[in-house]
Amino acid sequence: MTTKKFNAFEYSGRDAPGADGMERLCRQEAFDTPNGYAFVLVSDADSDPGRARLTAVAMERIRYYLENEVEENPGRAPANSLIYTSGYLFQMHQKQPSANRGQMSALCALLINDQLHYAWVGDPCLFLFTGRKVIPLTRQEAAPEEAGDNDSPLRAPGHMGHQALITPGSPSGPLQPLNGDMVLMGTAGICAELCRKGTRALLRDSMPAQTKVARMIKSRRPLPEDAGAALGIICFNDVSNTIRSYASGSYRPGPVGPGNPGQQPPMTAKKKKGAKLPSVSSSAIRNVLTIAALLLVAYMVYDLFIYNPRPPRRISPPTSTAQEEMGVVSPPGEEMADVPALPADSFYTVRSGDTWGRLYVRFGVCSWFVINHPPNRGRFGRESTLLAGQTLAIPLRYSGNSRLNPVYHTYFGIGEVGSSCQNAGRELLEAFERSLESP
């Protein structure tokens, strides 16, 4: 059982073993990364006991990618981690062609600034519970026919490791939950359980999240070949969102078998006797999409060329005190008018659960610059641990974020500081100071 409690959310997850010889074919983990907080499920519906080792390899590779690759667009990290892991498993199979490919599935979700970005491969499921209804967020489609050992991508979410390059399933936009919402992540063996009416009553109960997970895992319907199950619940308590936003999917369970929970009615509106469900023509859908595209283009033109929330203002050059602190010395009789002003420090109060990776995603400033910034010196011990409640001066002059550091961000991009800020240090700082001194 995994339980994580933070100010904004609480996570509880559990994976249950399957029949004899099928233990650990379902796994779940939750952990912090430089891109955001990650939630991962991995499962394999194949009955080969040797597949258990590969589920551990898949979980390890997904975690390795998320913890070591700092994405310029963190919302793409879930899909990219699954692409990387599937390619890794494919190469393992190439070295041992006789090995069983199995039916491995995975789901990866990343919580960034109170928004949940996610992607999946295979047949896991993701549901949103609003307190009144359970809404599917993943679309379960039949896997395409195997195209052989070539590099052509799959057209739909198949299974991990079957192709050198895959296209994971992903929504048109992230989930934006409200306080009180729950997100349920499950492997195929428990997806049908999440669709049952009794699940809603269980979720509305005031019992702890870990108790809800344990009861749903225990009450799942047995399969002819029980491959186990994994389930995770995210309870949102203190998010800043004021509007709920999500891209709805559809759950279509298949015939009874390993990885499929059996026939359950799809989550559609019930047809009343003598009534017809409304139908929407394809032409109407095309018209709506065309209008939406035109509105998007109009908004982009307005936002880029017309709307200006910040009228131009004159920015004075750095003061002599700031110049001395940065090591910039003006020649006698010359002004620094031609040198663009350095952005001022931003003061941030550390919250519970903050990490150096989260601060980097927020400000684009590596931890070395924050720790060695003059206002912060002497505030960190040998472990450089963040303490909730302490206020830090964030030197935006060393930020790689073009919005926070419009002129000098190119000196501190990922190409200069490294994907894990391994190049941030005195040498890079001195090179930046020399560039300010040059005419």
Domains and CATH numbers, the chain: 2-236 (3.60.40.10), 341-437 (no CATH)
Nearest to 160 by CA among 108, 95, 101: 101
Distance CA 398, CA 348 (A): 16
Percent composition of the chain: helix, strand, coil (DSSP 3-state, to 5): 30, 20, 50
Report the alpha-carbon distance of residue 390 to residue 57 in Å, rounded.
39
* Size of the chain in residues: 439
Q: Is 261 in contact with 224 (CB distance < 8 Å)?
A: no
* CA–CA distance, 230 with 211 (Å, rounded to integer): 14
Instruction: Give me the tens of pLDDT residue by residue for the chain, a chain 439 residues long.
Output: 788 888 889 999 988 877 665 677 889 999 999 888 999 999 888 767 677 788 889 999 999 999 898 888 888 999 999 999 999 998 888 888 877 778 889 999 999 999 999 999 988 999 999 988 889 998 765 444 444 444 434 434 678 888 888 889 899 889 999 999 999 998 887 887 777 777 888 888 888 988 988 888 877 755 545 667 888 999 999 899 999 999 877 765 544 333 343 333 333 334 445 555 555 667 889 899 999 999 999 988 887 777 665 555 554 555 555 445 545 454 554 444 456 788 899 999 999 989 988 999 999 999 999 998 889 888 887 778 888 888 999 999 999 898 998 988 888 988 888 888 888 888 888 888 888 876 5
Rounded Cα distance between 7 and 315, Å, is: 38
Nearest by Cα to 164 from 155, 153, 175, 174? 153
Does the reported pTM lie above 0.75?
A: no
Beta bridge partners of 232: 13, 185
- Tokens 């620094």 belong to 336
